[in-house]
Amino acid sequence: MNRALLGCCLAVVWLAKPGCAHASEQPPSDAPPVKPESAPIADPLEDYRRRHAEAQHLYQEGKLAEAIGYWEALYADLPLNLGYRIAFNLGVSYQAIGNATSAVEHYEAYLQELDKRRASGRTKDAVTEKKLDEQAAYARAQIEKMKAMYARLHIKRGHAGLESRINKLKSRLSGYVAWVQPGEYTITFGAGTRPDEVTTVQVQAGELREIEPPAPPPPNVIERRFETRFVTKRPYSPALIYVAGGLAAVASATMVVGYARTASIRNEYGTTNDISRAKQLESQYDGMRTLGNVSIPALSVLGTVTGGLIVGYFTLSKEQRISTPKPMEREKPSLHGHISPSHNGVVMGAEVRF
């Protein structure tokens, strides 16, 4: 196919600017004054049009690789509903350099978006629609032509992130159709370290071969061993017993001190001849006797509570079974030396294992 024919198929009318209308008559004299026009609004697609024109110029000069570079960058920057006609240009260019896989992928992207636009009622003027029809017919014809010329390898999609490559070509994520010349090909999935990750096939022109991906690698399961033990589950914290016992001890000590102080005051009261001191001792005696009378029931209650807590702590306890994972056993570091004879003497070495 010569470049002139391909050039006729390129999307030369792309993102066309609207034309300007000029009035042929003067406005009536009684018309309101026209406000001066504001500065023209910058066209947001101007840069894309410039880059598209540069790519077309490179294509016409036969610099297909450079033109493809311009169009690929432009196609990546534009949304598909605006850049679908660039996909057609890329399809033509890739076909011209013999990259059938990329050519078909871009032809199909162009046809798919064109069908979506027309199904949703988004159409252009009659001249542009006719041009689009011609391009669509050309793309379909080229796809059918390449089906007869090439073999197709359908690399099915595997587990997430699985890459594949054909012979020494660049790796791609699985889930695509490669258009190749008839012959033998080796398809490698992932790192290709497992036998099921490498497949070799022989294909003929016009053949479609389905390539199944390998099964995902088994998960790295670490076996954990568990040990079972029995623990005693107490009904409450022993701190309650400590608190109640402590309060009972304080009450007991208070009672003992109170009664000892009361006896001391009583003895001193019986021997003193000082009236003022006697009055003071009498007042202290009444206070200490009241403290002793209060401490007795307090000690009784706290003693009962403490005893009840002790009995309940042991009688209400239950045995509970608990399984816990055993700690991972690691190989201890070791040093192994070896000596072996050789034709020049001996070979000495050492091996350290961690």
Are residue 127 and residue 206 in the same domain, yes or no? Answer: no
Q: How many CB atoms lie within 10 A of CB 213?
A: 20
The answer to whether residues 131 and 7 belong to one domain is yes
Asked whether residue 305 falls in the same domain as residue 245, the answer is yes
What is the predicted pLDDT for the residue at 106? Answer: 94
Tell me, yes or no, whether 2 and 97 share the same domain: yes
Question: Do residue 5 and residue 103 come from a single domain?
Answer: yes
- Structural domain boundaries, residue 76: 1-11+45-149
Q: Residue 348 domain-assigned?
A: no
Q: Do 316 and 187 reside in the same domain of the chain?
A: no
Check whether residue 1 and residue 111 sit in a common domain. Answer: yes
Contact 151, 185 (CB under 8 A): no
Q: How many residues does the chain have?
A: 354
Q: Of 149, 180, 207, which residue sits at a domain end?
A: 149
Q: Which amino acid is at 226?
A: F
Could you say which residues of the chain have pLDDT below 50?
Answer: 1-9, 11-39, 338, 340-344, 346-347
In a domain, 339, yes or no: no
pLDDT of residue 224: 65
The tokens for 86 are 């660039």
List pLDDT tens digits, range 275-288: 766 667 677 767 76
The CATH code of the domain that includes 126 is 1.25.40
What pLDDT does 26 receive?
Answer: 40
Does residue 33 form part of some domain? no
What is the reported pLDDT for 100? 95
Residue 181 three-state SS:
coil
257 found inside a domain: yes
Of 149, 171, 206, the domain-final residue: 149
- Would you say residue 92 lies in a domain? yes
Mark which of 202, 221, 240 sits at the end of a domain.
Answer: 221
Number of domains making up the chain: 3
Q: Encode pLDDT of 261-277 as tens digits.
A: 777 777 766 777 767 66
Same domain assignment for residues 196 and 54: no
Residue 116 and residue 1 in one domain? yes
Give the start-end residues of each E strand in the chain.
151-155, 163-166, 172-173, 176-180, 183-189, 198-203, 208-211, 226-233, 318-325, 334-342, 345-353
